[in-house]
Amino acid sequence: MTWAIFYKLLAIVLVAALGWVVGRTRWLGDTQVDPARVLANTAFYLFAPALFFRTTARVDLAHLPWAMLAAFFAPVLAVMLGVYGVQRARRGRLGLPAAAPAVRAITATFGNSVQIGIPVVAGVLGETGLGLHLTLVSVHALTLLTVCTTLVELDLAREHAGEEAHLGRVLLGTLRNTVIHPVVLPVLAGLAWNLTGWGLPAPVDDTLQMLGSAVVPLCLTLIGMSLAYLGLPERLDGAIALSLIKLLLQPALVLGVAHWGFGLAGVPLAVLVLLACLPAGSNSMMFSQRYRTLEAETTAVNVLSTLACIAVIPLWLIVLAWIDPTLAVATGAAG
């Protein structure tokens, strides 16, 4: 299990490193051409919508584990809204752009549930845990990105209209920009298709799968390119704080709500905590690129939290085994 996770982390680092080499050598053009922005827009407007539509259109709504979903998303959304609220209150004093609170909120909560999450859960909890994890992953990005998109579009609409603008005008602009959006619109379209009960035609499904499979390597490459073009921020305190929220505070809240609030234990509890303690996902990088906000800081959080998870994930496994000794047997058998 340890070596499987290490190899997956190494692959992620190598892909990001290749992106850094591409950015450093200016193979795709210098900063005036801004190839990172072009790639980010390609991911955001083409590859990610295909992934979101296909995922929503195929998810089995009738058999979702609603208790697990509530036990996970209630504390995670609370963390997201808490980070957003604190950052929005401080935005004027710190001179941050309008999109900064939402960018920091998604960075502090969105986990790398595929590249790292799948091998971690498969190695630790086996097939049973992996099945539950994949079910949660099917609504993970859709939920968090939709909520955060609504928040950022509300802030942008408010800033564009002016602080004294009529509330109805602000809400109407927010609704329009939130729905006609490369994240939310494919989700709504996929959900509408899902509700019809029709399956996706094989050629359409294959096309969407091919486009969606490009999101992960493209976003990892973007992290490396952004590191080459932007470097790390002069101060890392913001990136460190967001990493601590992602790796320690969020999983602690999920553990408390899931175990003592919903009474979950065993493999379901472990799946939720592991999902909550994963390092920042590359979708946060795509989000910051989309709104041209805190790109260097978001890159730093992705790098720092991925490196730190080598120690953090075993720590949470120890905590879980202490709370529920049967998990020690289950993880030992899976590993």
pLDDT tens readout for residues 172-182? 655 665 566 67
pLDDT in tens, 18-39: 988 988 888 887 666 678 778 8
Check: CB of residue 146 under 8 Å from CB of residue 185: no
Residue 86 token pair:
């604190």
Give the pLDDT score at 67. Answer: 92
Per-position DSSP letters for 125-175, written without gaps between them: HHHHHHHHHHHHHHHHHHHHHHHHHHHHHHHHHHHHH-TTS-HHHHHHHHH
| The two three-digit tokens of residue 88, written as one number | 């929005």
Instruction: Report pLDDT digits (tens) over 256-297.
Output: 999 999 999 988 999 999 999 999 987 788 788 888 899 889
With a CB cutoff of 8 Å and minimum separation 6, the contacts of 142 are 52, 55, 56, 187
pLDDT tens-digit map of 198-246: 989 999 999 999 998 887 788 778 878 878 877 777 788 999 999 999 9
C-alpha closest to that of 193 among 34, 16, 23, 55? 55
Pair 149, 185: CB distance under 8 Å: no
Q: How far is CA 130 from the centre of its chain?
A: 18
CA-CA distance, 301 to 286, in Å (whole number)? 13
Q: What is the pLDDT of residues 84-132, one digit of tens each?
A: 999 999 988 888 899 999 999 999 999 988 777 877 887 778 777 877 8
Q: Which two tokens stand for residue 175?
A: 């609704």
Does residue 56 carry a pLDDT above 90? Answer: no
Lowest mean per-residue pLDDT among 2-6, 115-119, 318-322: 2-6
